[in-house]
Each structure stands twice: as structure tokens, then as C-alpha cells.
Structure 1
């Protein structure tokens, strides 16, 4: 039986990222859900809420919201009840649990996760760092890095670094190029170094697409080393041997999303610091797909 289409309204007094993430994560558990998303962000006044309510009346459907203002919440819930559409404050169950455990009431503070505090500026600083140390740039600044990602070209080093920067992690990335030695700074790195590897066929597909985008019309893609199967296979194998010889753990990103790769990087960073605190050197390792 085919899934019927329905409207889903996401109402937030902030950017709506929390709601978007929750909706995306939960809908991913269903097979081909036919959902029409209506995203209403920065809803902070009754005038703005009126526009939202008109939208819900015009295209009724379940409502998920994160609103701190009690009067706005009441108005939204009241209209949803009149329309007979489900209405859920997604953070309330978590908030109730934490209030019980902490023995205190949460502050009614809108968009508390986006305040301009030290954590916010740490993330901005990390973003600037990634921009300045992308693809082997600024290797002299590796001593300031929280971690370094190494790998062959197009193995998702850059997007992973940017994702980590949003978590406040200063991540440098250094390409492993067959004809070029690694920077001297990586001989005795002050932070975890983590290798990224990828399946040969998947990497060739990515590189072919890249060549097409940049307009490499004069390159015979079937024989060029950059996309030649045997050359790419040898390049990946050499990169893995290099990581193993240095005792750097390796993550196979072939079937991983950027978020999953970043989460694994964070785990390996924690393990590296734990071993360092215990006075033992990092050991070789690898994480498959």
C-alpha cells in the first residue's frame, strides 16, 4: 500500500535546526515517506504566529514545535486542537526528564543554544582555522590543530573538517599525494592524526564527477592516473600503508555519511587523549565501513 502524502509543520522561535534534525532523523526510519515540509522559523510574536496559523489552516497536518513563549504555545495548541491536527512540543519530554534529575526548573530562554558565548566563538574560530588549513595549506599551524585528517584526494577530508569545526574542533587536513612527502610537522604531531580511506570504485566515480565539474575536457578520463583503476588502487593502498607505518587509525568512509565519519573522528580523538594521559603512544588501527 503506497504511503499517502501529508503536511508536516515545523514551528520554531529560533533557526529551526533542532526541529529539522529531529524530523530528518525520524523520517529516515520510514520507507519513502511522502511528506511536505512547512518550516516556520524565528516565530517570536503573535503577528508572526498568525501567519503560521493561516498556513496550518490552509494545509492541515501534524505540527512539531519548539516555542518558549507560553502565550505563543497556548495559541498554537488551541488552534491545532480546533483543527483536529496533532501538535507536539518536541523538547518537553527531554526537558521534564532533566528537570526531574537536576531538581530545578529550566529557564525560559529563547534560542539558548545560539547565545554569543565562549562556545560560539570557539566554533567560529575553528571554522576560520579549517579555511586556513584546508588541503595542506598552512602546515606550520598544525601545532594549533585539535586533529589532522590525512587521505588521498577526494576522500571527504574537507567536508568532514568543516563539520567538525561546527563542533568547535580545529581540524587540519593534509592530502596524501603519491609523488609528495608528508609535511615534517606530521613526524611528531601534537594532536591525533587520522586517515580517511575509500573504496576504489567509489573514489573513481567521485573523481570523474569532479573532473566533469571543473571541465577537464582535454583529459582522457579512462587512462589518466587520477581515475585509472590500477593507479587509484595503488594510491589508496600506499596511503593505508603510510598510515599504518605511523600508527594512525584509518576510517573507511565509503558507506559513511559525513556526520558518521565526524562522530568516529571524535571517538578516535578521545581514545588518543586517553592513551596520552596514560602515557602510552597511539597504536595502529583501522575502522571499516
Structure 2
């Protein structure tokens, strides 16, 4: 049986203090899922999602905590303050994220609306992690959010050209899925060229789900109601159980390339 939120946070503090001796882990007084360590604010949402997947010993949890926080403490992510737009341009990507991240960010980040509970941000991709682009970065680089969005979209499209797409075809019950695990699978639904490719298999108007950051699943609009309910239930289940959760909802992409959110569909 897993700890409640306070119990989980206390366990993180205890284990992290053993893994990183000499560092003082303090709960954020306003954000129950954030720890403050010196200059860092460490969110616990993703760590909690992994923790919830099964019972984890202190030894295994220590490894998880070390992996989760280690790259931050090692300063493996360069500061955007030190980089010009020309230096970072090719590393910019679109990223779908929980809207809570936008609200919790200590400095306002660049974000665009997507749907209930989720937004689209722009990240600078580094070998071990990524950094969200902030409003102050736009001001320093003298570029609009829309212009930076276009650069990040073009880069996302470039790294997606050879991505594996899984196609399971059986009359109307056709599924197309992407699960490369590189952190951008959900965001790939934003690529117009990929939308066209999906539409060539599923029709101009199709349904899709992005239950977590590393999964995109699409299917035909004219599938059977039973098949739709099954997939909707799987999306809701995946959203509840997998790390980097995004949305339990089903979406429809129409022939004009617009997205419409439908309520989450529970399994029958």
C-alpha cells in the first residue's frame, strides 16, 4: 500500500538526504508536491507517478531518486541565460505538458493552450534533460512566442521523419500509434505532415489520445462504438497509471486540422 502525499514527500526527503548528504531538502510551504533545495525547486509529480507503478524498496527508491535529481544537481542542463537564440535554435522542441506546470513555474514560461488540463510549451533539448523556455528568454532573444513556436515545430518535425509508426489495420478498427519514448510522442500530433500521414490511413477526421507524454494513439472516426469505448477506457487507464500523465480524454482532429476534446470514455 502506497503512502499518502505527505508520507511520500517525507520518504523522498529521507531517502534524498541519504543519497545526497549535506543537501537540505525542505518542503515548499505553498506547493505540497515541490521540494526546495538551495536554488532548486524540485517537482515530485513525475517521481510519484513512477513510484505508484509498484511497491519499491528503499534501495530501489534511492536509485530512482538519484536518477531523478542527479542531473539537476550535476548542472547537466545549461542555463538558457547563457545562450543566444542562434546557439539554442536547433535544440528547440514543442512539448505537451500538464497545465499545472505552467502555474507552478517559478518564472513565467512560454505556453500555448491545448485542452483541459494540458498546454503546449517550448523546451530546449539537452542530452540528459530539457529546459522550458521562459518569457524572459523571448524578451532577451527579441522574438515573439508565435515565431519561436514555428521554429520548435519545424525542429520537432525534423527529428520525427524516421520515427517508427505502428499500424494495426482491420477494416474500420484501425489503430496508428507512436511510442518512441523520446519524450515528444504526444507532441507529434501537432505536426501537420504527420497529421496528413495519419489522415491517409484513418480518414481526414480521426480520433486520438495522448494519455501520457510518451504515447500517441489514433483511430478511425467510424469505428464501432464498442471499439471506441475500449480505446477510451484504455486511455483513461493509461493516464491514471503511467508516468508523465497528460489527459484521459479522447480528441477528434477534423479535416481542417483543428482539435476538439471529448470527455474521457470509461471502459464498459
TM-score past 0.5 threshold: no
TM-score by length of 2: 0.25
Q: Which has the higher helix share?
A: 1
Q: Which has the larger radius of gyration?
A: 1
Bigger strand share: 2
TM-score (norm: length of structure 1): 0.24
